[in-house]
């Protein structure tokens, strides 16, 4: 999946805007991301953690929703993104959050039978009451997401009941869509409300607390951050390593790749001064963690990530060296890689 996603994103990036090739590549990216979410949901379900949470970038989730919407929306519905929040990492179940935004978007589509626009917006705010009550600098910061449409609006007699389970105004509706949305937001510790005007549309607002320490690590949100520097990749899977390398080079970096940890360690011993960040497969022969310690014996200030196909929630505390920058779960999309590297490059050595 790492290779499929990596090469699909590269094809989408280099394809001509508006071309069939770019359109098909973007569909491949959306499908791969959907498959990743499904796989991780199944992993969580098998362990009895179907509501398991993790630190996730909301912009990345919204990007996935927008990509999928292209196959669900009529041609007369435009989708716009206005991401202004510099901090977008929240603790949530990624599948549940995806469903929240998708449900709101589908409702927005249904409210615009003659077409219109759906706008996804984000900004950072302070947690307060939804009417904008006073806050101070000690109040925990939040991410405010809005989903706005230009549709018919919600009738006054319907508005008080829209979050009630089994209440629907649609002939084929179940009445569970917005009820599930509210329950999911409540489970995250957030809040949801809306503003509506007849004939002018509706805006749903979702306020979510930022993940604790989200400002201290790499965000997984949407958007690409280009950079420069030299990245060393050590991975026994040549195909996956090549895909990762091409993705990183497309972001502006140079790469040096090794499938052999012995050769990689020998190279690093003599050339570590030219390497900015190291990406290490955790399941390398001899162990990615042990390989990292070899690198650290040559350079105490080495900056490295361990990358694994294993569910990172299964990795127990103490299994990885405390001085690694982090343990990341494959596959990583281009946005995640760009932000991970940008964060690592800005860290002071050691």
Domain layout of the chain by residue ranges: 53-214, 230-346
Same fold, 53-214 and 230-346: no
pLDDT, residue 2, reads: 62
The structure tokens 């084929």 sit at 172
* pLDDT classification of 320: cutoffs 50, 70, 90: low
pTM for this one?
A: 0.51
Query: Which CATH architecture best describes the domain 53-214?
Result: 2-Layer Sandwich (3.30)
The pLDDT value recorded for residue 1 is 61
| Per-residue confidence (pLDDT) for residue 98, from 0 to 100 | 84
In this predicted model, what pLDDT tens digit does every residue of 256-294 receive, in sequence order? Answer: 999 999 999 999 999 999 999 999 998 887 888 899 999
pLDDT computed for residue 268 by the predictor: 96
Q: How deeply is 16 buried, as exposed, middle or buried, from its count of CB atoms within 10 A (0-12, 13-18, 19+)?
A: exposed
- Lowest mean pLDDT segment, chosen from 225-229, 252-256, 317-321, 335-339: 317-321
CATH architecture of structural domain 230-346? 3-Layer(aba) Sandwich (3.40)
pLDDT of residue 254: 95
Query: What are the residue ranges of helices labelled H in the chain?
Result: 2-14, 20-46, 58-69, 94-110, 177-188, 238-250, 261-271, 288-298, 334-346
Band of pLDDT at residue 136, cut at 50, 70 and 90: very low
């Amino acid at each position: 999946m790492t290779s499929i996603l990596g090469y699909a994103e590269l094809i989408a990036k280099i394809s001509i805007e508006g071309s069939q090739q770019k359109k098909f590549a973007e569909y491949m990216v959306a499908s791969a991301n959907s498959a990743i979410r499904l796989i991780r949901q199944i992993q969580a379900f098998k362990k009895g953690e179907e509501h398991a949470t993790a630190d996730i970038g909301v912009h990345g989730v919204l990007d996935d929703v927008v990509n999928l919407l292209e196959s669900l929306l009529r041609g007369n519905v435009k989708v716009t993104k206005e991401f202004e929040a510099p901090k977008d990492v929240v603790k949530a179940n990624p599948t549940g959050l995806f469903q929240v935004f998708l449900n709101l978007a589908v409702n927005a589509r249904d409210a615009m039978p003659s077409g219109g626009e759906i706008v996804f917006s984000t900004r950072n705010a302070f947690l307060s009451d939804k009417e904008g009550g006073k806050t101070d600098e000690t109040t925990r910061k939040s991410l405010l997401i809005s989903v706005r449409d230009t549709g018919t609006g919600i009738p006054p007699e319907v508005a008080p009941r829209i979050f009630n389970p089994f209440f629907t105004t649609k002939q084929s509706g179940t009445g569970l869509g917005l009820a599930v949305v509210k329950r999911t937001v409540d489970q995250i510790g957030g809040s949801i409300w809306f503003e509506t005007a007849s004939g002018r549309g509706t805006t749903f607002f979702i306020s979510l607390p930022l993940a604790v320490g989200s400002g201290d690590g790499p965000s997984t949100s949407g958007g690409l951050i280009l950079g420069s520097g030299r990245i060393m990749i050590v991975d026994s899977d040549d195909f996956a390593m090549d895909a990762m390398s091409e993705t990183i080079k497309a972001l502006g970096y140079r790469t040096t790749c090794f499938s052999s940890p012995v050769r990689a360690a020998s190279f690093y011993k003599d050339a570590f001064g030219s390497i900015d960040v190291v990406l290490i497969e955790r399941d390398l022969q001899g162990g990615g963690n042990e390989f990292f310690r070899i690198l650290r014996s040559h350079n105490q200030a080495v900056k490295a990530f361990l990358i694994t196909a294993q569910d990172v929630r299964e990795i127990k505390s103490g299994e990885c060296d405390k001085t690694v920058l982090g343990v990341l779960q494959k596959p990583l999309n281009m946005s995640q890689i760009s932000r991970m590297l940008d964060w690592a490059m800005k860290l002071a050595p050691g």
